[in-house]
Amino acid sequence: MEKMIEGVKVKRLKVIPDERGRVMEILRSDDEVFEKFGQVYLTTVYPGVVKAWHAHKLQNDNIAVVKGMLKLVLCDLREGSKTYGLINEFFIGEHNPLLVHIPAGVYHGFKGIGEKETLVINVPTNTYNYKDPDELRLPFDTDKIPYNWERRNY
C-alpha cells in the first residue's frame, strides 16, 4: 500500500471457520489499535451507494465489515498533519477482513461495492451525543477532497 495517513492503523482480522459456521474477532481490549470503548453500532450501505464525507473532532473510529464488500476512503484534512492531503483507499469485507482505525480529524466515507447490502460495524471511542454530535460533514463530491467515487476499470 502507498503511504498511510498519520494515525491510521490496520489490523488483519482472523476468520476461524468450522462445520458450524465461523468466528471473527473484530476488536479486543488487548489489541494495539484499542484505545477505549464508546459504543458499537451497525450501519449498512446498498450496492453502489456512497456515504461520504464525515470526520470527528474527538472520537476515533474502528471500522470492519461483517458481510459484503466496502470501498473505504480516508482523507487527511487535519491542519499541521505530516500527511495533510493524503488519501488512503481500502477494500474491506468478506474477501479482505480488516479493521481500519481512523483517528479524529480524518475525513472518511465508503461505497458498497458488492452485489448485496454491506454490513459495517463501527466501534468508536466515544458514545454518540444526540444533543451535540461530534461530526464534521462534507458532500461526497466536495472540491476539498480530490476523489472520484466511480469504479476504475483498469
Tens digit of each residue's pLDDT (9 = 90 or more) over 31-54 = 999 999 999 999 999 999 999 999
**Close Cβ partners of 12 (under 8 Å, ≥ 6 residues apart):** 97, 98
Domains of the chain: 9-137 (2.60.120.10)
pLDDT per position as a tens digit, 71-88: 999 999 999 999 999 999
* Residue 145: predicted pLDDT: 97
The answer to whether residues 65 and 94 touch, using CB atoms and an 8 Å cutoff, is yes
Looking at 68-154, which runs of residues are DSSP E strands? Answer: 69-76, 87-93, 98-102, 106-112, 118-122, 136-137
Cell reading at 69: 464488500
CA angle 91, 154, 14 (to 5 degrees): 20
Percent of residues, the chain, with pLDDT higher than 70? 99
Amino acid identity of 13? L
Do strands 136-137 and 9-12 pair parallel, antiparallel, or not at all (unpaired)? unpaired
pLDDT per position as a tens digit, 81-110: 999 999 999 999 999 999 999 999 999 999
- b/e code 94-127 from CB counts within 10 Å (16+ = b): beebbbbbbbbbbbbbbbbbbeeebbbbbbbbbe
The model's pTM: 0.94
CA angle 74, 77, 136 (to 5 degrees): 80
